[in-house]
Structure 1
Amino acid sequence: MCFNFMMPSAMADILDIWAVDSQIASDGSVSVGFPLPTGIYIQLDVPREATISYIKQMLWKLCDVRPFLPVLKLVTKDPEVNEFRRKCVNSQTYPPEHEPSLIVAVHFENSQDVFSFQVSPDMNPIKINELAIQKRLTVHGREDEASPYDYVLQVSGRVEYVFGDHPLIQFQYIRNCVMNRTLPHFILVECCKIKKMYEQEMIAIEAAISRNSSNPPLPLPPKKTRVISHVWDNNNPFQIVLVKGNKLNTEETVKAHVRAGLFHGTELLCKAIVSSETSGKNDHIWNEPLEFDINICDLPRMARLCFAVYAVLDKVKTKKSTKAINPSKYQTIRKAGKVHYPVAWVNTMVFDFKGQLRSGDVILHSWSSFPESVNPMGTFRQPYTENATALHIKFPENKKHPYYYPPFDKIIEKAAEIASSDSANVSSRGGKKFLAVLKEILDRDPLSQLCENEMDLIWTLRQDCRENFPQSLPKLLLSIKWNKLEDVAQLQALLQIWPKLPPREALELLDFNYPDQYVREYAVSCLRQMSDEELSQYLLQLVQVLKYEPFLDCALSRFLLERALANRRIGQFLFWHLRSEVHIPAVSVQFGVILEAYCRGSVGHMKVLSKQVEALNKLKTLNSLIKLNAMKLNRAKGKEAMHTCLKQNAYREALSDLQSPLNPCVILSELYVEKCKYMDSKMKPLWLVYSNKVFGEDSVGVIFKNGDDLRQDMLTLQMLRLMDLLWKEAGLDLRMLPYGCLATGDRSGLIEVVSTSETIADIQLNSSNVAAAAAFNKDALLNWLKEYNSGDDLDRAIEEFTLSCAGYCVASYVLGIGDRHSDNIMVKKTGQLFHIDFGHILGNFKSKFGIKRERVPFILTYDFIHVIQQGKTGNTEKFGRFRQCCEDAYLILRRHGNLFITLFALMLTAGLPELTSVKDIQYLKDSLALGKSEEEALKQFKQKFDEALRESWTTKVNWMAHTVRKDYRS
């Protein structure tokens, strides 16, 4: 419990506050209210002369006996009160919990002058400027007149500035320095230089946004009068002709057939069609019309045709399977004594990017190795390989009178026509009973399936949804009949008056289930409310859902480019998120043209990005050389060869003075070659250390990995950052340390090194002479903290450990993080615990010979508890507080459960090995107990907490085995 009092100048001032007789009781005491962090409000009578220490003691005693009178529990269902409280908490995200003073160092640009002085944490940056200028005048005598307003404070070694009328303690850099007990270092830079940089950047941004073609457009040919028809006027059934298939690469005796389905998102618009079976070696000819049970007028704008090609084998011949088929790899269909193996799949849009209904002959090159039937979530772009299976299909010819999907004004006209008709005058309002049922349906998590009756109810009460439950829009979109033009028109009209959703809720509308163009435009309009910082938080998902966009020019790609061109930080991460996957054939064209658009629009940023690309190419080459020589050279000679390479001019130039891809605010100045090394793991990651030329900046460590896919680590660390943000919004700082991680290419990327930290395994090994006994030494961790901390610093380190341990216990349970051996958990010398290496998530725990090696829901060993209890076995108060932190943190995450499910769902297209289907996300729903009440969910978590304690001995056994293997290898 912490109290922040503004200290009066004298005792007389304190007594003057209580000078009004009505406020003083007959015994000289004063009634004072104290809000506790738990939401409890205590009214306490204290002597008028009471000290803060005396009041704290009284409150602690009251907390121990859990008072019930006179107590007012500040819990209310009034949304206005809750909103006011939330805003109050948010306004103090970083509460002024600080020392009475701190020391800062200021360096003058282009000068050797460095001044350190003591300042108040409440002082604003202008006052720091003034103090620095005065100190310089005192040392050097009178120089040219200088105003503190002519300068701005730059964080040393970073492209980051501290300015404005805000207390120093509210700046994140200062907060980090205070928490890490490091000295803040600044450079005093002239404002005119910053202004010049800003003006140049703004000119570049404006030029990019308003750029016109350098060449005047060619004159348009005279328009030919052409009749344009709308598909809503065509009531004929939709049909295509399946002409033939090429390069199926099957034996002549093997038959093949095609399965075709019309989809809108994951919804099948009508019954799928299966062609007849034909024989052939490479070519199979059908010339067969496929008529779908849907009229052309009812086709939605984003309808897609999905095909799957099957090879049909007799069961007795499956052992002699064709050369193109590996039966064990695929899900098969068994029918009439035959086995149907999927050979290839391909998708195509029914309307092109101009909204024109496809017509004529089309050759579709297919994708192989998909272990399902049709794949509606797959790309509609085609592979480049000449050896790909190809389907020749024919759409109805309509070149003379092409059919287009109706423009927006026609859609609204149709909706108005329907609304004015007699059949639409039926009331779409529900009574209290129906509204209660509706609310229960809408409160379900995004993974919950709706039955037919529930969808009908939601659609019928759509006006109630708009007015009372605007967050119900995703479920309304799942309830509409997309194969009925009347419903689609009414939805588009309703969408125009639908209230804007908060950005976090609007993210769900970018999922694959919602392909409609106007829905996605609405979602993007909601995202425009995001600040740049919030947009950066979700940029990983926004890049992934670009894969769901069938056309290059869409609202989402335009939005991302606009924000990236206006903010280089967003631009840098957009660049790397796109570039890291541009090698994937399914997205190479789409991501390539967006990258091109950004590079053309941000010419000034290209120099920075090009240098980063060059540096990473050099590191990739170096890593390949090390892998090549690792078997030939011992470690010492390998390290020497690495240093020799890094000292070459080409490497020095490429790897010096570049902005870190992990954080554009950090400048990687100069390699400290002697401290660079490569690590022992299979891929030989490079451990690089930069020593900055800029005054006062500590060394910066970066790990370069080549051969490992870092995207799953990126996703997990993003979730940890989000959890940290949500906890802080609720007033709970659990001292999380989600370090930087960035995929930069095909199975390559960078990881931030957390300084002054060691793994649990190393801490335990260094404290024991026998590797097998190291994991069972419960004093090792506490003794290690005592080695680097004493007195108040030790108390603070234990507090850091307690809070961070609580955060990672809850986070690892909710996310189902596996492979938690003692080399994947680290501790900083300041006490912060953090986890690394997230190769197994969503409950994919490691096993051997069919036996689960990890049996606990999260890691909570007795040496952790020993630290939390300050080495005192009976310190139940400290452990009880730790447990309460875990429970509070869990409930906070649970209240945002839908957000976590949405973010993981948006990553399904990323191709991560442990996130391939909605079934994988079910783990999140179970760990957060989203189908239960809060009381039931808390009970479940308490059971998991007890289980983690009870089974912690199994963790120790696993750690022992890991430590012994590690000691043997070294």
Structure 2
Amino acid sequence: MPPAMTNLMDLWAAHSQLSGEDLVTVDFLLPTGIYIQMDVPREATIQHIKLLLWKQAQSYPLFPSLGEMEGHMFECVNQAAVHEELEDETRRLCDVRPFWPMLKLVTRNCGRAERLLDSKIGVLIGKGLHELDALQDQEVKDFRSKMFRISEEKMQRVQLMTWSEWLQACFSPQLEPGGGATPVTDGVNDKQAEASLKVTMHFDQSQYIKACLQAKECPHLTLVQVSTVQAMFEKEISAIGAVVNRKSSNPPLPLPPKRRGPSIQVRAGLFHGTELLCKPAVSSESSGRSEHVWNRTLEFDITVSDLPRMARLCFAVYAVMDKVKKQKSTKNSGKVHYPVAWVNTMVFDYKGQLKTGDIILHSWSSFPDELEEMLNPIGTIQTNPYTENTTALHIHLPDYNPHTILVRGRESQCGKKFHIELKEIMERDPLSQLCENEKDLIWTLRYDCMENFPQSLPKLLLSVKWSKHEDMAQLQALLQIWPKLSPRDALELLDFNYPDQYVREYAVGCLRDMSDEELSQYLLQLVQVLRYEPYYDCALTRFLLNRAQCNRNIGHFLFWHLRSEMHMPAVAVQFSLILEAYCRGSIPHIEVLKKQVEALSKLKSVNELIKLGTIKNARSKTKEAMLTKEAMMTCLRQSGYTETLSDLHSPLNPSVLVEKCRYMDSKMKPLWIVYNNKLLGGDTLGIIFKNGDDLRQDMLTLQILRLMDLLWKEANLDLRYALEKAIEEFTLSCAGYCVATYVLGIGDRHSDNIMVRSTGQLFHIDFGHILGNFKSKFGIKRERVPFILTHDFIHVIQQGKTGNTEKFGSFRNYCEQAYLILRRNGNLFITLFALMLTAGLPELTSVKDIQYLKDSLALGKTDDEALKQFRQKFDEALRESWTTKVNWMAHNVVKDNRS
């Protein structure tokens, strides 16, 4: 059942808070077969409710057979429609929030301490551990077993620490600016790191296979495709017609007769990253209705020995229809293909064994744009967990009896002559495509690349023939002597284009040099690229867990980055495994995180209460405000709310505590929460809590803005702080935001989204439109300027003096310096955006979206050419500033009409 299902308990809770009720009617199911219904306080703990039930049950039959009260616990059906054991009886009923007010009393098993910890972790990560226990997946079991052992050893070491050692381990300070504590390895010792890399391939032990190997031949990979079942094709084809009709001006496509059904085909492709290893294999057409059977063998033009370790098998199921013929013309005759479903699987399992036998793959129906031949190699390798209404693909992989073959590479005989052409290729940005001749040149001069352009490793990897095991072996030998890259350069190697296990291990090795502060800067991308890891136990997962468990601040943000995406089926199991491993190795952190999870649940309930009150009193604005505020205050005064929201560490910044709360009068009724930074003795800090908005695009934009500020400061150009005069503060911060909003293409820049602090610092909020996705009204662009630079801003910059050209000239010079600094780091920005491509952000779905950055930074041009382009944009912003005023006036008129 999808996690977005409406929670009936929440709706009842909101209603009871509006009506002033404090009790909820709960059905209790006893193991004796007795059913009891009684009213209990919704603020009561599970322990207290069990005591009330026990007193009530004494008057019912079979009570003596229940035994001791401590020998029982409650179960409920949670919001995800699965059973949850309520082992932690200090929780309140309102915190448990069962899907339906029904509790089942069950006999408690032994091992209560372990079960209590499991229960807490399950509640914390939003997925009961019994669900992981029930998975019939050996990879999951092996990963959990390994992480359990590592976590247990870590907690034993923690128990032997002194207080000062524990504080140093969990809250390691930065020793100096730009430095940090000594990096910690993730369990790979120096001897292991120096060991020679070996590639194992698995072949049939038969004499035929051995003869083929001796003759430098190998059988081609074959795939026996059995059938697709339960495909729901009639519904899918109807949906296809509707989608096509919406996306084009052509009339709706005629659907094939129901009695015959559409023709269905399956396409299969072998990929290494986004590289197609050989020509895709295509099945014959099948004209069944709900079940399609082929029983045909699909053969790929690649030998088994040439399969790279991270090869993935990608399938696309599609309908084949006759193209619509226009009147008086037969030019459009033929067939068209409409995608129905896709699914991917790895060729090798997590142990490195070639997969064999029968496999059932439950597919996905949402297709991203710009797919090559409808295959989606960048998509998840997890099968769809919602199996009832999905297309199921049954395949059979031939049985190659395991026989390990060691593939050894040979040294390259190429010379070390430096080529000017090679230098030009290596200086291109990451989005630039390489032609085949350029790839051959790079591979031939790979030792020159290592000596003169070590940061060009990504381009070398794109030049490897991944369908040749000789090239793969030589690359793996080369990686052992390749100079270590800077962490920023190594980030690109974690992109989907570089799936090789040894490449990613090399990249993680480079990341170990990151300080904790720098790791926090890039944590958002590092969590997203976990999606690219085909196996649960990998170098990146171990690295993140180790650094998170050694520094609670990193652990805090790792937890929330993972927790915020637990509702996505494609990553739910992977992220829950990592979260469980983190919690088991950071048991003292569990209670802090648990309080934050409960607090967010409370704030969500308050927001839903406000929305419900708004709907019920929509006719009277005054009455609405009065009743809604009264209901909110009544809710917040409840003991469960006051206790949970008191002394609360903010999930955005764990160093500040909550102080007060009110709600804002806008569509989503966001809560305005004020925090008091008691730990650092700072001023109060206000944040907005929005319930129902996807703010990950805002997170990405804010992260990039922080990075820009860091890069400017590294170049001794501070465009935000350290200045005493408010006008100078405004001038410098305005310069920073002019450049940043232009480079990132930030839209929807009206007066409500631009703020000024009392110190004079200007800053922007709300980043729902980026990369040049500017708003339009009736087909007319509302924003015509590259960035906001109104005459009011200029008036402040010139200190109120119209002829103060010196101040304005300084401002313009700041902007140009800032722009050139960002250009020098253009590859880093492209890499960070590329690593977010699979995050599902609305305006970052393909490489074409990142092209905006390449254009705004004028990558590929000289500094003089780029500066000329920026100056033209600057003049355009000045010249067209009147359009900004008109846009702001229109926005204010619309806002006033809404209110």
TM-score after normalising by structure 2 = 0.72
1:584 is paired with a residue whose SS is: coil
Aligned counterparts, 1:41-440, within 5 A: 197-200=163-166, 233=213, 235-251=218-234, 252-316=260-324, 337-371=334-368, 372=371, 373-385=374-386, 386-398=388-400, 401-403=401-403, 410-411=406-407, 414-415=408-409, 418-419=410-411, 425=413, 427-430=414-417, 432=418, 435-440=419-424
Q: Match of 2:655? A: 665
Equivalent position amino acid for 1:647 in 2: R
C-alpha distance in 2 between matches for 1:458 and 1:492: 16
2:396 is paired with a residue whose SS is: strand
C-alpha distance in 1 between matches for 2:491 and 2:402: 36
Distance 1:522 1:203, change over 3 A: closer
**Pair 1:928-2:894 in alignment:** no
Aligned counterparts, 1:732-743, within 5 A: 732-735=717-720
**Pair 1:896-2:856 in alignment:** no
Q: Match of 2:881? A: 952
Q: Deviation of residue 210 (structure 1)? A: 11
Q: Match of 2:515? A: 531
2:668 is paired with a residue whose SS is: coil
Distance 1:452 1:285, change over 3 A: same
C-alpha distance in 1 between matches for 2:713 and 2:268: 50
Q: Match of 2:892? A: 963
Q: Deviation of residue 336 (structure 1)? A: 5.9
Describe the superposition over 1:705-755 as per-residue Cα deviations: whole angstroms up to 9, x where unpaired. Answer: 111001000000000000000000000110179xxxxxxxxxxxxxxxxxx
Distance 1:491 1:568, change over 3 A: same
- Structure 1 residue aligned with 2:613, among 617, 623, 629? 629
Larger Rg: 1
C-alpha distance in 1 between matches for 2:424 and 2:434: 12
Describe the superposition over 1:166-208 as per-residue Cα deviations: whole angstroms up to 9, x where unpaired. Answer: xxxxxxxxxxxxxxxxxxxxxxxxxxxxx964334578999x9
- Structure 2 residue aligned with 1:656, among 634, 646, 650? 646
C-alpha distance in 2 between matches for 1:396 and 1:488: 24
**Could you tell me whether the CA contact under 8 Å between 1:240 and 1:393 is conserved in 2?**
yes
Equivalent position amino acid for 2:814 in 1: C
- Structure 2 residue aligned with 1:683, among 668, 676, 693? 668
Gaps (5+ residues) in structure 1?
A: 1-194, 212-225, 319-333, 738-791
Distance 1:807 1:202, change over 3 A: closer
Q: Deviation of residue 277 (structure 1)? A: 0.3
Q: Match of 1:851? A: 780
Q: Match of 2:634? A: 644
Distance 1:228 1:260, change over 3 A: closer
Q: Deviation of residue 818 (structure 1)? A: 0.3
Describe the superposition over 1:144-186 as per-residue Cα deviations: whole angstroms up to 9, x where unpaired. Answer: xxxxxxxxxxxxxxxxxxxxxxxxxxxxxxxxxxxxxxxxxxx
When the two chains are superposed, the root-mean-square deviation of aligned CA atoms in Å is 2.5
C-alpha distance in 2 between matches for 1:501 and 1:925: 23
Q: Deviation of residue 348 (structure 1)? A: 0.5
Distance 1:899 1:736, change over 3 A: farther
C-alpha distance in 2 between matches for 1:694 and 1:310: 59
C-alpha distance in 2 between matches for 1:960 and 1:861: 13
C-alpha distance in 2 between matches for 1:583 and 1:892: 39
Distance 1:564 1:696, change over 3 A: closer
C-alpha distance in 2 between matches for 1:200 and 1:883: 50
Q: Deviation of residue 316 (structure 1)? A: 4.4
Q: Match of 1:607? A: 591
1:278 is paired with a residue whose SS is: coil
Q: Deviation of residue 865 (structure 1)? A: 0.3
1:438 is paired with a residue whose SS is: helix
Equivalent position amino acid for 2:540 in 1: L
C-alpha distance in 2 between matches for 1:807 and 1:942: 15
C-alpha distance in 1 between matches for 2:674 and 2:851: 41
Distance 1:875 1:605, change over 3 A: same
**Pair 1:707-2:636 in alignment:** no
**Could you tell me whether the CA contact under 8 Å between 1:250 and 1:280 is conserved in 2?**
no
C-alpha distance in 2 between matches for 1:642 and 1:198: 43
Q: Match of 1:919? A: 848
**Could you tell me whether the CA contact under 8 Å between 2:223 and 2:398 is conserved in 1?**
yes
2:496 is paired with a residue whose SS is: coil
Q: Match of 2:156? A: none
Q: Deviation of residue 958 (structure 1)? A: 0.1
1:883 is paired with a residue whose SS is: helix
Q: Deviation of residue 344 (structure 1)? A: 0.1
Q: Deviation of residue 558 (structure 1)? A: 0.3
Aligned counterparts, 1:415-814, within 5 A: 415=409, 418-419=410-411, 425=413, 427-430=414-417, 432=418, 435-633=419-617, 634-668=624-658, 671-672=659-660, 676-691=661-676, 697-735=682-720, 796-814=725-743
Describe the superposition over 1:890-931 as per-residue Cα deviations: whole angstroms up to 9, x where unpaired. Answer: 000000000000000000010101000000000000000001
Describe the superposition over 1:494-545 as per-residue Cα deviations: whole angstroms up to 9, x where unpaired. Answer: 0100000011000000000000000000000000000000000000000000
Distance 1:703 1:388, change over 3 A: same
Q: Match of 2:137? A: none
Distance 1:632 1:517, change over 3 A: same
Q: Match of 2:25? A: none
Q: Match of 1:131? A: none
**Could you tell me whether the CA contact under 8 Å between 1:205 and 1:601 is conserved in 2?**
no
Q: Deviation of residue 281 (structure 1)? A: 1.0
**Could you tell me whether the CA contact under 8 Å between 2:656 and 2:676 is conserved in 1?**
no
Q: Deviation of residue 696 (structure 1)? A: 5.4
| % same residue | 72
Describe the superposition over 1:401-428 as per-residue Cα deviations: whole angstroms up to 9, x where unpaired. Answer: 2255x5xxx34xx11xx33xxxx54x33
Equivalent position amino acid for 1:381 in 2: Q
C-alpha distance in 1 between matches for 2:794 and 2:186: 60
Q: Deviation of residue 369 (structure 1)? A: 2.2
Could you list the structure 1 runs, at least 4 aligned residues long, displaced by more than 6 angstroms after superposition.
202-206, 208-211, 226-232, 692-695
C-alpha distance in 2 between matches for 1:199 and 1:893: 40
Q: Deviation of residue 661 (structure 1)? A: 1.1
Q: Deviation of residue 667 (structure 1)? A: 3.2
C-alpha distance in 2 between matches for 1:311 and 1:447: 33
Higher relative contact order (CA 8 A, sep 6+): 2
Q: Deviation of residue 660 (structure 1)? A: 1.6
Distance 1:640 1:392, change over 3 A: same
Equivalent position amino acid for 1:653 in 2: E
Gaps (5+ residues) in structure 2?
A: 1-160, 173-183, 188-201, 235-259, 618-623
Q: Match of 2:750? A: 821
1:367 is paired with a residue whose SS is: coil
Equivalent position amino acid for 1:276 in 2: S
**Could you tell me whether the CA contact under 8 Å between 1:262 and 1:303 is conserved in 2?**
yes
Equivalent position amino acid for 2:402 in 1: P
| Length, aligned pairs only | 667
Equivalent position amino acid for 1:492 in 2: Q
